[in-house]
Structure 1
Amino acid sequence: MTTTTKPAEVTKNRTAIKKRSPLLVVLPAAALIAILTYTLPPFRNYQLATIGAYLCVTAGLTILTGLNGQLSLGHGALMATGAYTLAILQNHVNLLIVGILGAIVVTTAVGAVIGLAAARLRGPYLAGLTLAVAVVVPSVASTFDETFNSDQGLTVALEPPPGTITVEQWQAWLCWTAALLTVLILAYLIRGRFGRDLRAVRDDETAAKLAGVGVARTQVLAFVVSAACAGLAGALFAVLAQSVSPGAFPLTLSLFLLMAIVIGGLGRLTGALIGAFLLVALPSVATSIAENAGSQRLEGNLALTFFGVVLVVVMLAAPGGLASLSIKRKKQKGQE
């Protein structure tokens, strides 16, 4: 005799999963990161820190593109804005927390300006605007050489980590503290009215207006939140590299960010984490292959090729991204 799960029980289980507090995910993740920093070698800790920095920007881009439907090809430029702001403040004030907060504030202001313009644009016109931003910002850094030191960039003065903590461990703690706080804040934001407004505007702007949602306001807020996350990520990258230059934020970076969240899963913070991991893993594999082949020119082309191939394969096998695979499994278990 077989037993079946009642529809009410399935609905109750799904509701329990949806209402699970983000803290129940973030706190174990923080403990796991702390354990990993003591077990991994220095280079792996540096890669772990890089994943955390990327998670900040991919999470923000997920909010903008995945939940609100705005396409951005300029987040690499927003990261550059945050990185240069931190470098300038750090070299004058020499307080890291001030530099990071300053980077977030300045990039948020830039994002608000772009968001006001983006709220009037749709589709390829919006992509063209953000693409222009991605081209202009590195050019500004190269033009005003007295402030930004042209193509050579700026160094970032940092105090050594306290005690016996290695630099790589300290970097991993810093980046993942910022990443987990970012994910926690965003998770609570999208669970409330702001998240419902984002989805409503993405799905149907006319219906959203009729429901009383401010479409333009929601789009600008989405860009502001996403820009703040990008500025934080740029500041963290400046700390990781201890220098900032226009070459560190090329146009391909914005393309990689967009492809990463699509592969990971649009509209899901889990997808942002998967995308952040791929942003570190795939170029690392490409670098290893290029070094074995003895060709430096092959390195950059291989990374883009890997992303392209993975994107095609994932879109064929899982159109919702890699994060959608786990959701399908949960649904199948709930139906059993």
Structure 2
Amino acid sequence: MTDMKQKTAAHDVPEKSVPKRRGGSRLAPLLIVLAGAVVILILSYTLPPFRNYQLATVGAYLCVTAGLTVLTGLNGQLSLGHGALMATGAYAFALAQNKWLSMPVSFVVAIAVTTAAGAVIGLAAARLRGPYLAGLTLAVAIVVPSVTSTFDEVFNSDQGLSVVLDPPPGTIPMERWQVWLCWAGALITVLVLATLVRGRFGRRLRAVRDDETAAKLAGVNIARTQVLAFVVSAVCAGLAGSLFALLAQSVSPGAFPLTLSLFLVMAIVIGGLGSLFGALWGAVLLVALPAFAQSIAEQTGSHRLEGNLALVVFGVVLIVVMLAAPGGLASIRFTFIRRFRRVR
């Protein structure tokens, strides 16, 4: 009788009490990345060369916006110097590529150099908060371009460095080859970051962002978490910089001005802080809005407005998005879902 009661009780256990496997949630980022790879492959064959170049630029920007949104949105560290980290990766890639003419080696060198730079800045940033951290990273964004002018024998001053690249394999057009390389880096970056933020590392980032005292009482090492967050973001910025060197086939200080760092911050805010989907929106805006501003400047015939008009357009879009969707463009889908459920 006892055995029969135990079997009956086991069958009467409700399904909700049985823990569900989380394999589907773990595979979700991989499936999304694979679907994105298929879409990019199709677009690379259907778009004209110039649109392919713009698509490749979006992929390069996605690397840095994804890393920056993890740093700022999930860990709460504001960085105004990611343009300088991109420049560091671009110059390291150019010097390595011109010396060894091996693209994989050049990418490894660029990532290693920016990792070291991110660790140094992260160690200093771990002791700073708020405007002091922003001031430190802003100083980095100003100092790095001036280094190229100081050591002009190595970096060729304002003229920059040309990047020697091997031709694409077979008969693949250069623009299509650039799309594949840039989006390979972008999709790998998104997959790695999605895996990190969904695990223990992501929980530590959010805990430090929300309440450092509570996180410390829970056993989280605050300084180590902040340094690791900065290093991860710096690696993404270095990869993005090397991809930009690959796209332009040259590197110069003018390609990484201070306004680039401001654009990156505004892009992740408009897209949605802490969301990798918002980082994609930010990458698209970083390509679309300057092109839109340039077309307006050409139509008006005023080339003086071309440099400042992009910043104005970004500012207007930032204000409109913050009024309409305070959570950024990535939160619009959740707003529609909530309204649809209310209607039903």
1:142 matched to 2:149? The reply is yes
29, 48, 57: which is aligned to 1:50?
Answer: 57
Residue 207 of structure 1: which of 188, 204, 214 is its match? 214
1:216 to 213, 217, 223: 223
- 1:242 equivalent to 2:227? Answer no
Name the CA distance, whole Å, in 1 between partners of 2:309 and 2:118.
Answer: 32
Q: Match of 2:329? A: 322
Following superposition, the deviation at residue 328 of structure 1 comes to: 2.7
Counterpart mapping for 1:152-301 below 5 A: 152-301=159-308
Residue 164 of structure 1 deviates from its aligned partner by 1.4
My pick for the range that moved more, 65-74 or 323-332, is 323-332
Q: Which amino acid aligns with 2:200?
A: R
Deviation at 1:17, TM superposition (A): 8.7
- Structure 1: stretches of 5+ with no match in the other structure: 1-7
Runs of 4+ in 1 over 6 A off after TM superposition: none
TM-score after normalising by structure 2? 0.92
Q: Distance in 2 between matches of 1:96 and 1:254?
A: 26
Does the C-alpha gap of structure 1 residues 117 and 296 become closer, same or farther in structure 2, counting only changes over 3 Å?
Answer: same
Q: CA deviation at 1:35?
A: 0.3
Alpha-carbon distance in 2 for matches of 1:307, 1:16: 40
Give the equivalent residue in structure 2 for 1:72.
79
Q: CA deviation at 1:294?
A: 1.8
Letter in 2 for 1:274: W
Deviation at 1:330, TM superposition (A): 3.7
- Which residue number corresponds to residue 5 of structure 1? none
Partners of 2:331 and 2:25 in 1: how far apart? 15
CA deviation profile, 1:180-199 (whole Å, cap 9, x unmatched): 00000000000000000000
Give the corresponding residue for 2:7. none
Structure 2 residue aligned with 1:311:
318
How far, CA to CA, are the matches of 1:16 and 1:33 in structure 2? 26
Per the TM alignment, residue 326 of structure 1 is displaced from its structure 2 partner at its CA by 1.1
| Aligned-residue offset at 1:20 | 5.7
Task: State TM-score, norm by structure 1.
Answer: 0.94
Distance 1:217 1:199 in 2: 14
Equivalent position of 1:95 in the other structure: 102
CA root-mean-square deviation: 1.8
Task: Give the direction of change, closer, same or farther, for the CA distance of 1:334–1:185 in structure 2 (3 Å limit).
Answer: farther
Q: Which residue type is aligned with residue 52 of structure 1?
A: G
> What secondary structure does 1:21 align onto?
helix
Deviation string, structure 1 residues 43-92 (Cα, Å, up to 9, x no partner): 00000000000000000000100000000000000000000000000000
SS of 2:28 mapped into structure 1: coil
Percent identity between the aligned chains? 74
Pairing 1:115–2:126 present: no
What is the CA deviation profile of residues 278-319 of structure 1, one whole-angstrom value per residue up to 9, with x for unaligned ones?
Answer: 000000011111112222211111100110000000111111
Pick the structure with greater CA Rg.
Answer: 2
How far the C-alpha of 1:327 sits from its partner, in A, is 2.3
Q: Distance in 2 between matches of 1:290 and 1:178?
A: 33
User: How many angstroms does 1:329 deviate by?
Assistant: 3.0
